[in-house]
Structure 1
């Protein structure tokens, strides 16, 4: 969990980065001399939580934990219990798991973790996608399913913040995280280590009541409630504790909501809100210098498809399958598009006319004049599918 909550609080990411940088040297030495890793470890946490660095770091922590436990037992062999240490250990587990589940819950509720499938994804075949991409497309298709899963994660996280609802939060967290772990392993999502640890933490929180659960659900016995003892000695301690909890939980809620709103704004700017011409266009007719080029799959000049991603970016796919990203400037008042290769200062100006889903573009130098007719590709069954109460036949195609 360390250095939590550093890295989760805004403006503390650089401290977290320095923490991981400090482990890079030891990780490389242990990886080379003990684990016999034949290559240098250079990749630090970058969105993938299953890098070589992560696995070596887990190994280091395991060795430190085992060695520390042995030394602790020897030096403190006369102590009969660790009730206070165990109490705060459970508190830290509850709050860490609660914060992480809140984070994952809100990015699904606001649908920024699994955004709706892009038009580019619509043209990608199942066979061309990776297992992780397939999962992201499946999850992103339904806003309602995103909301359901996100609400379940966020609810389990909120329940873990309170001692009276800790068991219910642990049960719900195990249900949620078991599914997440299986998805990560089966679809090769590089969050296997983190999700597995979150599931283990959920199980630890459940084990506090394992005897009561077995007696109630399996042995059919009456189970007495667990007394919730006050941890406050003075009234002001309770007030301070409640205020700190409100600030902690409320602060993270504001952070996640704010981040979600900002991310949603970024996504909308990069899609159809970025330009009225957003979409994928199939090139139906391509005229170069007065000659109509047939759609031959080996042609490296004729365009096959144009994907207007935003008001600044266009992807051009050629007949041979090659795809190149261009920068663009779109003038919707004068119906003009300026296309330039990435990094180029000067581009090519095209005038366009739009009629329904069809657009005619003309531009280029007089000796390389290009005119082509494109039709907007928007007939996707996945995007046009609707919910039906009655299905006379399964619509599985």
Structure 2
């Protein structure tokens, strides 16, 4: 039998997941349309950085579509236990980029991006055991690696390619 605290924690966890997921899914679906018609001259109340960034995003439909697809996938992945950590990582990459751009280009939506990033961090805190497991697996050191000589050969070849790549490309 779960305690009241456990039940409340479970409810809060899923509220945060549903808020984050639904918002990312909606943002992902709407992202291709967000920058469609951005008249620079009619937006005198916006900062120069805001105008510059919106002009950049509206120049090509492809970039906002790619970002939208990643937001959509990240939002969907939050809903499933097996993909939640990957969804959090994907959304953290996207939101970090958005936060950085919003800050540097003086976009008023900065607080919104920070809010969603904080929700993602809270989800990761709730799932800290899974996060630890993922990081242990990612950074596991194999002490019995017998391929060290092959790695050294590969490194030397890669360095040689890098030295000559500008001559060939």
Task: Give the superposition deviation at 1:218.
Answer: 2.4
**2-structure distance, mates of 1:83, 1:214:** 26
8 Å CA contact 2:21–2:74 kept in 1: the answer is yes
Cα offsets for 1:333-387 (capped at 9, x unmatched): xxxxxxxxxxxxxxxxxxxxxxxxxxxxxxxxxxxxxxxxxxxxxxxxxxxxxxx
Task: Give the superposition deviation at 1:184.
Answer: 0.9
TM-score computed with the length of structure 2 as normaliser: 0.70
The residue that corresponds to 2:61 in the other structure is 143
**2-structure distance, mates of 1:168, 1:210:** 10
Q: 1:116 to 1:99 in 2, by over 3 A?
A: same
Whether 1:114 and 2:43 are equivalent positions in the alignment is no
Whether 1:97 and 2:20 are equivalent positions in the alignment is yes
TM-score computed with the length of structure 1 as normaliser: 0.31
* Residues 68-217 of structure 1: pairs in structure 2 closer than 5 A: 82-109=5-32, 111=33, 113-118=34-39, 121=40, 130-207=48-125, 208=127, 209-217=130-138
Q: 1:174 to 1:93 in 2, by over 3 A?
A: same
**1-structure distance, mates of 2:93, 2:124:** 12
Task: Give the superposition deviation at 1:201.
Answer: 1.1
Task: Give the superposition deviation at 1:172.
Answer: 1.0
8 Å CA contact 2:47–2:106 kept in 1: the answer is no
* Residues 264-279 of structure 1: pairs in structure 2 closer than 5 A: none
8 Å CA contact 1:97–1:157 kept in 2: the answer is yes
8 Å CA contact 2:57–2:63 kept in 1: the answer is yes
Greater Rg, structure 1 or structure 2? Answer: 1
Stretches of structure 2 that go unaligned for 5 or more consecutive residues are 143-169
Give the count of matched residue pairs: 134
Task: Give the superposition deviation at 1:91.
Answer: 0.7
8 Å CA contact 1:108–1:114 kept in 2: the answer is yes
- 2:82 match: secondary structure: helix
8 Å CA contact 1:171–1:206 kept in 2: the answer is no
Task: Give the superposition deviation at 1:81.
Answer: 8.5
**2-structure distance, mates of 1:180, 1:193:** 11
Task: Give the superposition deviation at 1:130.
Answer: 1.2
**2-structure distance, mates of 1:82, 1:216:** 31
Task: Give the superposition deviation at 1:158.
Answer: 1.2
The residue that corresponds to 1:376 in the other structure is none
Task: Give the superposition deviation at 1:214.
Answer: 2.5
Cα offsets for 1:30-75 (capped at 9, x unmatched): xxxxxxxxxxxxxxxxxxxxxxxxxxxxxxxxxxxxxxxxxxxxxx
Task: Give the superposition deviation at 1:190.
Answer: 0.9
Cα RMSD (Å): 2.5
* Structure with greater helix percent: 2
* Structure with greater strand percent: 1
* Residues 315-334 of structure 1: pairs in structure 2 closer than 5 A: none
Stretches of structure 1 that go unaligned for 5 or more consecutive residues are 1-79, 222-397
Dislocated runs of 4+, deviation >6 Å:
none
**2-structure distance, mates of 1:214, 1:131:** 37
**2-structure distance, mates of 1:129, 1:196:** 20
- 2:68 match: secondary structure: helix
